[in-house]
Amino acid sequence: MAKVQGAIVINIERCKGCEVCVGVCPESVIAMSKAVNGKGYHYAEPINENCTGCTNCAVVCPDGVITVYRVKI
Amino acid sequence: MTREEIIKEENLVYKKTALFTDKALSYCPGCGHGTVHRLILETIEEMGIQASTIGVAPVGCAVLAYEFMDIDMMQAAHGRAPALATAVKRLNPDQYVFTYQGDGDLAAIGTAETIHACNRGENFTIIFINNGIYGMTGGQMAPTTLPNMKASTCPYGRDTAMMGNPLKMTELVAQLPGTYYVTRQSVHTAGAVRKCKKAIRKAFENQKLDKGVSFVEVVSNCNSGWKMTPVQSNKWMEENMFPYYPLGDIKVPQV
């Protein structure tokens, strides 16, 4: 089985901290930050390297702040 | 592989569509409006119809939709989006026309326009966001508010004996001969978003056939109006909205 590895990039200044992406991630990659962004929201951030690039987080993000990359290894 | 090695242009699999303008969306955190905006714009991008699409923005939370969508848009008076879209489509039959309306706009003040546009079988797409409440004006009761659901104008819950029953607009328009494709979707999980996108794509492609209105209802949340967190509101929506507004196709074209 081909293994895949992914990575997400979050535009933290546009993130509104709704936490919808946290629940849809099958690999529990995303958590909310302790720090806040310019608008005062606790933004989403990747906390481990388990991302498979499934794009679930990106498709549910209401503000479209998540960009997803994926490679086959 | 390190993170830096993965994050390269050739490995890109998902990115916010370039059809959004640079403005930050004005919606509350977790609101389904942003997701539906993105699905519409992705559909337009994939079909390559950016220059030949005209959208009609409603009155409501999405009143500023034209600020966020980099396509031609018009702004209708409250509830009159289907009437305006009728004119736009009749004058520009080769353009793709859609209206984007909330439940206060489409199901309350715009009931007449909606029903008559659907009954005439106008050839455009209606995207209907149903969150069971008037979001922008402060969470008042809407025609689609569920029985016993609290809103600022029914703080003890909607009493159906006094205030009537919720209006199932989508089932209503499905009865009309002028509608070609009627479906109800949601955008609270990744699977639902992907299904919803397929429905929106189909609704846009139906305009090529000139068979009538394609009507896509999206059951959405209003976490500010419902006084919940976005995650709680999605759960509440699954438990309470979906039994009353079941998801799925209601009228599909007979082939």
For an interface test with A, give the residue of B1, B4, B6 to mutate (most A CBs within 10 A): B6
Domain count, chain A: 1
With residue B32 as reference, give the H or E element that holds it. helix B32-47
Contact A20 B20 (CB under 8 A): no
Tens-place pLDDT, residues B42-62:
999 999 999 999 999 999 999
Q: List strands edge to edge, sheet with B12-14.
A: A4-10, A66-72, B12-14
Nearest to B34 among A24, A56, A62 (CB): A62
Range of the domain at A36: 4-72
Q: How far is A21 from chain B (nearest CA, A)?
A: 9
Contact A6 B6 (CB under 8 A): yes
pLDDT at A1: 57
**Binding-site residues on chain B for chain A (CB distance < 8 A):** 1, 3, 5-8, 11-17, 20, 24-25, 27-35, 38, 187-190, 193-194, 223, 229-231, 234
Buried (b) or exposed (e) across B101-134, using 16+ Cβ within 10 A?
bbbbbbbbbbeebbbebbbeebbbbbbbbbbbbb
Q: Contact A61/B14 with Cβ under 8 angstroms?
A: no
| DSSP string for residues in B63-113 | GGHHHHB-SEEEEPSTT-HHHHHHHHHHH-TTSEEEEEEEHIIIIIITHHH
Contacts of A6 in chain B (CB under 8 A): 6, 13
Q: Contact B7/A9 with Cβ under 8 angstroms?
A: yes
Q: Residue B82 pLDDT more than 90?
A: yes
Bridge partners of B181, per DSSP, are B214
Nearest to A7 among B7, B24, B34 (CB): B7
C-alpha separations of B215 from A32, B68, B130, B198 in Å: 37, 22, 12, 13
User: Cα–Cα distance between B162 and B124 in angstroms, integer?
Assistant: 36
Tens-place pLDDT, residues B170-198:
999 999 999 999 999 999 999 999 999 99
* Residue B2: band (very low, low, confident or very high) from pLDDT cuts 50, 70, 90: confident
- CATH code assigned to B20-251: 3.40.50.970
Q: Searching chain B, which residue's CA lies closest to the CA of residue A8?
A: B7
Q: Residue B8 pLDDT more than 80?
A: yes
What are the boundaries of each domain within chain B?
Answer: 20-251
Q: How far is A9 from chain B (nearest CA, A)?
A: 8
* pLDDT tens digit at each of 73 positions of chain A: 568 999 999 999 999 999 999 999 999 999 999 999 999 999 999 999 999 999 999 999 999 999 999 999 8
* CATH code for the domain in which residue A15 is found: 3.30.70.20
Q: How far is B188 from chain A (nearest CA, A)?
A: 7
Those residues with Cβ within 8 angstroms of residue B102's Cβ, 6 or more apart along the chain or in another chain:
B58, B60, B61, B62, B128, B129, B130, B131, B135
